[in-house]
Structure 1
Amino acid sequence: MVGVLEGFTTIAIIVAVGWLLADRRVLDDSAQVNLSRLAFHVASPALLLTVMQRTSLAAVLSANLVTSLISFTIVVGVYLVLARWRWAGGALGSRLIGSLSAAYVNAGNLGIPIALYVLGDVAWVAPTLLMQLLIITPVSMALFDSDARGERPTLGRSLRRMFSNPITLGAVAGLLIAVFDIHLPRVVAAPIDLLGAMAVPSMLVAFGISLRRGPRPATGRAAGHVWTIVVLKTLLMPAIAFGVGIALGLRGEALFAVVVTAALPTAQNIFTYAVRYRREVNLARDVIFVSTFVSVPVILAIAALFHGFAGV
C-alpha cells in the first residue's frame, strides 16, 4: 500500500508548490493559463509521444482494454443522462468536461506509480493508457475544437480537427514510431524527453494556482454537481469494471488491475483542457481535487478486499 500513498503524496507536494507560489504572488492567473498552454501545446504532446513509443502494443487487443473502454462508455452514458435531467445538459464543451471528469482516469502520473508499487507491473495500466490516448483523447479534442468554433460536429470536421490537435499528433506520432520500430537519434529523442518531463509539473503547478486563486472546491451551488461526478468516478466506475471484467473472464491479478485502474481519480489533463477551451474550469478543478482525496481510501479498500478474499 506504500505505492498508493507515494503516488498521491508526490502529486500533493507539486500542487502545494503551485498553491504557495500563488499565495506569495510569485505566480498569478496569467501564469496558470500560460502553464496550461505550455502543457497542452508542447509538453503533453512530447510526453505522449514518449509514452506511446515505449508502450507494448500487445496490450491493445487485451480483455483489459475492452473492460476499460466499456466501463468508460457506461459511466459517460450515466453522466449524460444525469446532466440532461439535473443540469439541463449545457453546451457541448461543458458536457465533454463533465463526461471526461467522470470517466477519464489519471493513468499517467498516478496510474504508473500505482501500477508499479501496488500491481507490481506498469504493463497493467498500459491498456487504459492506450485506450485514453488513442481513442478518447482524439475524439474529445475534435469535439472540443468544433465546440470552440461554434461548428456542428460532423465526421469530416471531426477527423480534420482530430489530426490537427497537438495532443492527438503526439500520441499518433508515438504510435507510428512504435509500430514501425523507429529508433530516434539521441539528438532528437533527448529534447523530446526533456519537453515531455515538463508536462505533469506544469499541469500540477497550474492546478495549485487555481486552488489558491479560485473559489473553495466543491462549495456553493456546484457542490452537488461535483460530488455526483466524484461518486461516478471513484465508486461506480470500479464497480462497473469489476462486473465487466468478470463477464469477460478476468480473474485474479488481471481483474484486480482493471478495478484499481478504474478507481483512479480524474486526470489533471481534464483541467488543462478546461482552461484551454474555457469550459467548466472550476468544475474540472473541483472534481480532480475531491476525487484525488476520495480515491485513496477507495483504492486501499479494493486492495484489502482482493488480498483478503481473492488472495491477489
Structure 2
Amino acid sequence: MQGVFTGFATIAVVIGVGALLAHLRILDLTAQRILSQVAFFVGSPALMVVTLSRADVHQVLSANLVATAVAVLVPLSIYAGLARFVWRRRLGDATIGALSAAYVNAGNLGIPVASYVLGDASYVAPTLLLQLLVLQPIALALLDADALGRSPSFVQLLTRPFKNPLTVGSLIGVLLSVTGWTLPDFVGNPLELLGNLAVPSMLIAYGIALRLGPGLGAAGSVSELATTSALKLVVQPVVAYAVAHFALGVDGHALLAIVVCSALPTAQNIFVHATRYERATVLARDTILITTMGSVPVILVVAALLG
C-alpha cells in the first residue's frame, strides 16, 4: 500500500505548493490561468506523445477495456440524465460535470499506483487509451461546439477533435506505439522535457484555485457535487467489478487491477479543461478534491477485499 500513499502524497505536496504561492501573493488567478493554458497547449500534448508511444496499445483489446468502458459509460449516463432533466445544465457545463463523474486520474496517479500497488504500469494502459482516444476527443468536441454557441453537427464531432492539441498528441503517440517507430533524440528529448511541464503546471494551478477561488460547494448545487463524487468513488468501481467478475469471468489479480483503476479519483486535467473553456470550473475543482481524498480509503478497501 505504500505506492498508494506515495502517489497521493506527491500530488498533495505539489497542490500545497500552489496554494502556498497564492497565499503569499506570489501567484494569482491570472497565473493560474496561464499555467492551465501552458498545460493544455504545450505540456499535456507532449506528455501524451511520450506516454502513449511507450504503451502497449494491444492491451486495449482485452477484458480490461470492456469493463473499463462500461464503468465509464454508466456514471456518464447517470450524470448526463440528471444534468439535462434535473439541473438543466448547458452543454459545456454538463460535459465538464460528466467528465468529473467518470474520467479517472490514469496518468500522474494511475501510473504510480499501477506500478507500485499492482506491480505493472501496463494495467492502466487500457483506461489511459480509452480516455485519451475516445472519451476526451468527444468531450473536447462538445466543449468546442458549446463555445461556438450552437449544438455540434456530426461533421464537427468528427473533425474538431483533430484540431485539439491533446488529441493530436495522443494520436501521434499511438501511431508511434503501433508502428514501433522511435523519435530521434533531438525531437524526443525536448518533447519529454516539455511533457514534464504538464502535471506540475496542472497541480500548481489547481492549488492556486483552491486558495483563491470560491469555497467548497460555492458553485451552486451541493447535490450535484455529491452526485459527481459518489458516481466516481462508488458507482464506477462497483460497475467495473460487476462487469469484470460476473459478465467476463475475470478473477484474482486481474480483477483487482480493473477495480483499482476504476476507483482512481477524477483527473486534474478536467480542471484544466474547465478553466480553458470556462465551464463548471468550481464543480470540477471540488469533485477532484473530494474524490482525491476519498479514493485513498476506497482503494485500500478494494485492495483488502480483492488483494
Task: State if a TM-score over 0.5 links the two structures.
Answer: yes
1:42 matched to which residue of 2? Answer: 42
Determine helix, strand or coil for the equivalent of 1:109. coil
**What's the counterpart of residue 110 of structure 1?**
109
**Number of the residue aligned with 2:9:** 9
- Report Cα offsets for 1:225-277 as digits up to 9, x if no partner: 11111011001110000001011121111111111111110000100000000
- For the pair 1:217 / 2:216, whether they are aligned, the reply is yes
Letter aligned with residue 168 of structure 2: L
Deviation at 1:219, TM superposition (A): 5.0
Q: Distance in 1 between matches of 2:227 and 2:221?
A: 10
| SS at 2:150 equivalent | coil
Measure how far apart 1:56 and its partner are: 0.5
TM-score (ref. length: structure 1): 0.96
Matches of 2:74 and 2:222 in 1, distance apart?
Answer: 23
Q: What amino acid maps onto 1:206 in structure 2? A: A
The reply on whether 1:185 has 2:184 as its aligned counterpart is: yes
| Stretch of structure 1 that moved more, 161-170 or 220-229 | 220-229
Report deviation, 1:58. 1.8
For 2:39 and 2:304, locate their aligned partners in 1 and report how far apart those are by CA, in whole Å.
36
Q: CA deviation at 1:139?
A: 1.1
TM norm structure 2 = 0.97
Which has the larger displacement, 118-127 or 217-226? 217-226
Q: In the TM superposition, what is the alpha-carbon distance from 1:293 to its structure 2 partner?
A: 0.4
Residue 218 of structure 1 contacts residue 227 of structure 1 at CA under 8 Å; is this kept in 2? Answer: no
Structure 2 equivalent of residue 291 of structure 1: 291
CA displacement 1:200-228 (0-9 Å, x = unmatched): 00000000000000122235743221111
User: Are 1:155 and 2:178 an aligned pair?
Assistant: no
Mapping for residues 1-312 of structure 1, pairs under 5 Å: 1-88=1-88, 90-219=89-218, 221-246=220-245, 247-307=247-307
SS in 2 for 1:58: helix
Deviations 1:140-179 (A, max 9, x none): 1111111111132112112221101001000001111122
What is the alpha-carbon distance in structure 2 between the residues aligned to residue 168 and residue 40 of structure 1? Answer: 11
Out of 144-153 and 8-17, give the one that drifted further.
144-153
Instruction: Check conservation: 1:112, 1:122, Cα contact below 8 A.
Output: yes
| Structure 2 contact 14–203 (Cα < 8 Å) conserved | yes
CA distance in structure 1 between the partners assigned to 2:167 and 2:256 by the alignment? 30
Report which stretch shifted further, 74-83 or 216-225: 216-225
Percent identity, aligned pairs only, is: 50
**Equivalent AA in structure 1 for residue 222 of structure 2:** A
Aligned equivalent of 1:310? none
For residues 35-86 of structure 1, give each alpha carbon's deviation from its aligned partner in whole angstroms, at most 9, with x where no partner exists: 0000000100000011110000221101101111111111111111222343
Moved over 6 A (4+): none
SS class of match (1:152): coil
* Counterpart amino acid of residue 255 in structure 1: L
CA contact (8 A) 2:218 2:282 kept: no
Cα RMSD between the aligned structures?
1.1
In the alignment, residue 163 of structure 1 is paired with which amino acid? Answer: F
Any idea what the Cα deviations from partners look like across 1:108-138, whole Å, max 9, x if unmatched?
0110111111111101111101110111111
Residues 11-56 of structure 1, C-alpha deviations (whole Å, 9 max, x = no match): 0000000000000010001001000000000100000011110000
The SS at the match of 1:119 is coil
